[in-house]
Structure 1
Amino acid sequence: MGHGGARPLPVRSGSVPMVGRDAELAALLGAVEHAPSAVFVEGQAGVGKTRLVAEFAAAARARGVRVVRGACQPLPEPFPYGVLFDCLSQCGDHLDDPGPVTGALRDHLPELAGLLPPAPRALGDPEAERHRIFRAVRELLRSLGDTVLVLEDLHWADEETRWVLRFVLASPPPGLSIVATYRREDLPTVATLGYPSHVPHGVTGVNLVLRPLGAVEVRAMINALVADEVTSERFAEVVLRETAGIPFVIEEAVRALRDPMADVRAEGDLAQRALDGIDVPVLVSDAIRERIWSLPDAARSLAEAAAVLGVPETTDVLSAVAGEPEVEHLIALTQSGVLVEETANRFGFRDNIARRAVCASLPGPRRRELHERALEALSALDRTPAGRLSVHAKAAGRKSEWLRYSELAAEAAEEVKDMTTAVDLLSEVLTDPEISVDDTNRLAIKLCGYALMGLPGGVVTARVESLLSDPRLAPDVRGEVHLWFGLLLQRETGEVDRGAGEIARAIDLLADQPERTVRGLAAMAGPYLGNASIAEHQTALGRVEMITDHLPTQTLRTVLLATTLGGRLIVGDSSTWERVAQLPSPSDVHDPDEIHHLARAHCNLADACSWIGHYARAREFLRSGVALAEQVAASYVVGTAEATAVRLDWLDGQWSGLERRIDRLVETYANLLLTTDLNLTRGWLAAARGEWVRAERAFEAAGSYPLAQVFPVGVSAAGGMAGMLLSQGKVAAAEEHVERGVGMLRSKGAWVWSGDLLPQAVDFYLAMDRVDAARRLVAETITGLGGVDAPLAHAALTGCRARLAAVTDDREEADRLYREAIGLHHDLGLSYRAIQLAEQAEGGAIADVTELEVLAESYESLGATVDAARCRHRIRSTGVATPSRRGRRGYGDELSPREQDVARLLAGGHTNREIAQALFLSRRTVEDYVVKVRRKLNAPSRHDVRL
Structure 2
Amino acid sequence: MVAVLARPPSVLFVAGEAGIGKTRLVAELMRATNPSKYRFTVGRCQPLREPFPYGPVFDCLCALAGRLAKAADLSPVAGVLAGYLPELAAVLPPPPPPPASADPNLERHRIFRAVRAVLSAIGPVVLVIEDLHWVDEDTAQLLRFLLSEPPAGLGLVLTYRQEDLGDRAGPLGGAWRPSAAISTVRIRLTALDVSEVRELATDLTGGQVSLGLAEQLHQDTAGIPFVVEEVLRTEGSDVPVPVRESTVERLSALSDEGRRIAQAAAVLEVAASVELLGEVAAVDRAAVVEALVGNVLVEVAENRYGFRHVFARRAVHDTLPGPERTEFHVRAVHALREIEPIPLSRIARHSRKAGLFGDWLRYGEAAVDRAIESADSSAAIGLLQELLAAPGLPAADVDRLATKFSRIAVVGHAQLDVTALLQRLLGDGRLSDPVRGEIRLTLGLFLLRQADGIEAARTELEQAVAELHERPRLAAKGMSVLATPLNGTVPLSEHVRWMRRVDQAIDHTQDKILRTTLLANHLGATVHTGDPEVWARIALLPGTSDSIEERRELARTHLNVADACSWTGHYDKALTHLWKGYRLAADTGATFIVSSGQATQVRLDWYTGKWAGLDERAAELLHANRELFPVTTELALVLGWLAVARGEWSSAEEHLARTGLAAPENAFTPVVIAAQAAMVSMLLARNEISPACAAVDTGLAMLRRKGVWSWGGELVPAAVAAYCAGGRVADAERAIDELRVAVEGLDTPLATAAIGVAVGLVAEHNGDHLVARDAFIRSRQRYDQLGLIYPAHLLTERIALCRLRLHEEDAADTLVELAQTLDELGASRDAARCRHVLRGLGTRCPSKRGRRGYGNDLSPREQAVAGLLARGHTNREIAEVLFLSRRTVEQHVAKVLRKLGLRSRRELQ
TM-score under structure 1 normalisation? 0.85
The alpha-carbon distance between structure 1 residues 366 and 865, as it changes in their structure 2 partners (threshold 3 A), is same
Once the two structures are superposed, the pairs formed by residues 212-611 of structure 1 within 5 Å of their partners are 212-226=191-205, 228=206, 230-257=208-235, 278-325=237-284, 327=286, 329-383=287-341, 385-414=343-372, 417-551=375-509, 553-574=511-532, 576=534, 580=537, 585-587=541-543, 589-611=545-567
- Is the CA contact (8 Å cut-off) linking 1:452 and 1:484 kept in structure 2? yes
**Matching of residue 41 in structure 1 with residue 4 in structure 2:** no
Report the CA distance between 1:413 and its aligned residue. Answer: 4.2
CA distance in 2, matches of 1:832, 1:69: 62
CA distance in 1, matches of 2:501, 2:743: 24
Report the CA distance between 1:289 and its aligned residue. Answer: 0.9
Higher mean C-alpha displacement, 342-351 vs 754-763: 342-351
What is the count of residue pairs matched by the alignment?
895
Residue aligning to 1:854:
814
1:678 is aligned, of 635, 647, 650, to 635
Residue aligning to 1:766:
724
CA distance in 1, matches of 2:492, 2:623: 33
The one-letter amino acid paired with 1:678 is L
- Is the CA contact (8 Å cut-off) linking 2:753 and 2:779 kept in structure 1? yes
CA distance in 2, matches of 1:287, 1:733: 63
CA distance in 1, matches of 2:791, 2:64: 80
**Matching of residue 687 in structure 1 with residue 644 in structure 2:** yes
Residue aligning to 1:3:
none
Once the two structures are superposed, the pairs formed by residues 59-98 of structure 1 within 5 Å of their partners are 62-63=35-36, 65-93=38-66, 94-95=68-69, 96=71, 97-98=73-74
- Is the CA contact (8 Å cut-off) linking 1:420 and 1:460 kept in structure 2? no
Report the CA distance between 1:362 and its aligned residue. Answer: 1.0
CA distance in 2, matches of 1:86, 1:354: 32
The alpha-carbon distance between structure 1 residues 866 and 213, as it changes in their structure 2 partners (threshold 3 A), is closer
The alpha-carbon distance between structure 1 residues 243 and 627, as it changes in their structure 2 partners (threshold 3 A), is closer
**Matching of residue 641 in structure 1 with residue 618 in structure 2:** no
The alpha-carbon distance between structure 1 residues 167 and 789, as it changes in their structure 2 partners (threshold 3 A), is closer
Alpha-carbon deviations, 1:28-73, whole Å to 9, x = none?
Answer: x445444444444333333333444444455558335333333233
- Is the CA contact (8 Å cut-off) linking 1:37 and 1:176 kept in structure 2? yes
The alpha-carbon distance between structure 1 residues 62 and 482, as it changes in their structure 2 partners (threshold 3 A), is farther
Residue aligning to 1:795:
753
**Matching of residue 894 in structure 1 with residue 847 in structure 2:** no
Identity %: 41
SS at match of 1:722: helix
CA distance in 2, matches of 1:618, 1:211: 46
Report the CA distance between 1:604 and its aligned residue. Answer: 2.3
CA distance in 2, matches of 1:834, 1:47: 53
SS at match of 1:674: helix
SS at match of 1:933: helix
- Is the CA contact (8 Å cut-off) linking 1:538 and 1:568 kept in structure 2? no
The one-letter amino acid paired with 2:277 is L
**Matching of residue 704 in structure 1 with residue 661 in structure 2:** yes
The alpha-carbon distance between structure 1 residues 132 and 292, as it changes in their structure 2 partners (threshold 3 A), is same
The alpha-carbon distance between structure 1 residues 113 and 930, as it changes in their structure 2 partners (threshold 3 A), is closer
Report the CA distance between 1:415 and its aligned residue. Answer: 5.6
CA distance in 2, matches of 1:652, 1:418: 34
The alpha-carbon distance between structure 1 residues 694 and 57, as it changes in their structure 2 partners (threshold 3 A), is closer
Residue aligning to 1:6:
none
SS at match of 2:644: helix
Higher mean C-alpha displacement, 85-94 vs 770-779: 85-94
The one-letter amino acid paired with 1:323 is A
Report the CA distance between 1:893 and its aligned residue. Answer: 2.5
Alpha-carbon deviations, 1:703-743, whole Å to 9, x = none?
Answer: 43336631222112111111232234332331332122122
Structure 1 residue runs without a partner (length 5+):
1-26, 258-274
The alpha-carbon distance between structure 1 residues 762 and 303, as it changes in their structure 2 partners (threshold 3 A), is same
The alpha-carbon distance between structure 1 residues 84 and 848, as it changes in their structure 2 partners (threshold 3 A), is same
**Matching of residue 667 in structure 1 with residue 623 in structure 2:** yes
Residue aligning to 1:192:
171
SS at match of 1:62: coil
- Is the CA contact (8 Å cut-off) linking 1:603 and 1:625 kept in structure 2? yes
Residue aligning to 1:161:
139
The one-letter amino acid paired with 1:230 is Q
- Is the CA contact (8 Å cut-off) linking 2:596 and 2:631 kept in structure 1? yes
SS at match of 1:67: strand
- Is the CA contact (8 Å cut-off) linking 1:939 and 1:945 kept in structure 2? yes
Structure 2 residue runs without a partner (length 5+):
none
Higher mean C-alpha displacement, 592-601 vs 804-813: 804-813
Report the CA distance between 1:516 and its aligned residue. Answer: 1.5
**Matching of residue 717 in structure 1 with residue 690 in structure 2:** no
- Is the CA contact (8 Å cut-off) linking 1:42 and 1:210 kept in structure 2? yes
The alpha-carbon distance between structure 1 residues 209 and 596, as it changes in their structure 2 partners (threshold 3 A), is closer
Residue aligning to 2:129:
151
The alpha-carbon distance between structure 1 residues 682 and 254, as it changes in their structure 2 partners (threshold 3 A), is closer
CA distance in 2, matches of 1:154, 1:813: 85
Residue aligning to 1:109:
85
Report the CA distance between 1:806 and its aligned residue. Answer: 5.3
The alpha-carbon distance between structure 1 residues 860 and 407, as it changes in their structure 2 partners (threshold 3 A), is farther
Alpha-carbon deviations, 1:563-585, whole Å to 9, x = none?
Answer: 2333344233456557x36x963
- Is the CA contact (8 Å cut-off) linking 2:41 and 2:127 kept in structure 1? yes
- Is the CA contact (8 Å cut-off) linking 1:495 and 1:706 kept in structure 2? no
Report the CA distance between 1:358 and its aligned residue. Answer: 0.6
TM-score under structure 2 normalisation? 0.89
Task: Give RMSD over aligned pairs.
Answer: 3.5
SS at match of 1:497: helix
CA distance in 2, matches of 1:617, 1:135: 85
Report the CA distance between 1:80 and its aligned residue. Answer: 3.6
Report the CA distance between 1:548 and its aligned residue. Answer: 4.0
The one-letter amino acid paired with 1:199 is P
SS at match of 2:259: helix
Alpha-carbon deviations, 1:277-312, whole Å to 9, x = none?
Answer: x22223311221121012111221222222223233
Report the CA distance between 1:820 and its aligned residue. Answer: 5.5
Alpha-carbon deviations, 1:582-615, whole Å to 9, x = none?
Answer: x963147443323322332333233233323344
SS at match of 1:492: coil
Residue aligning to 1:751:
709
The alpha-carbon distance between structure 1 residues 63 and 188, as it changes in their structure 2 partners (threshold 3 A), is farther
The alpha-carbon distance between structure 1 residues 435 and 142, as it changes in their structure 2 partners (threshold 3 A), is same
- Is the CA contact (8 Å cut-off) linking 2:56 and 2:139 kept in structure 1? yes
Report the CA distance between 1:784 and its aligned residue. Answer: 4.2
CA distance in 1, matches of 2:80, 2:795: 98
The alpha-carbon distance between structure 1 residues 518 and 855, as it changes in their structure 2 partners (threshold 3 A), is farther
Alpha-carbon deviations, 1:116-149, whole Å to 9, x = none?
Answer: 5156357462434444444444444445444433
- Is the CA contact (8 Å cut-off) linking 2:528 and 2:708 kept in structure 1? no
CA distance in 1, matches of 2:60, 2:475: 80
SS at match of 2:410: helix
CA distance in 2, matches of 1:254, 1:516: 46
The alpha-carbon distance between structure 1 residues 488 and 166, as it changes in their structure 2 partners (threshold 3 A), is same
CA distance in 2, matches of 1:136, 1:820: 94
Higher mean C-alpha displacement, 815-824 vs 393-402: 815-824
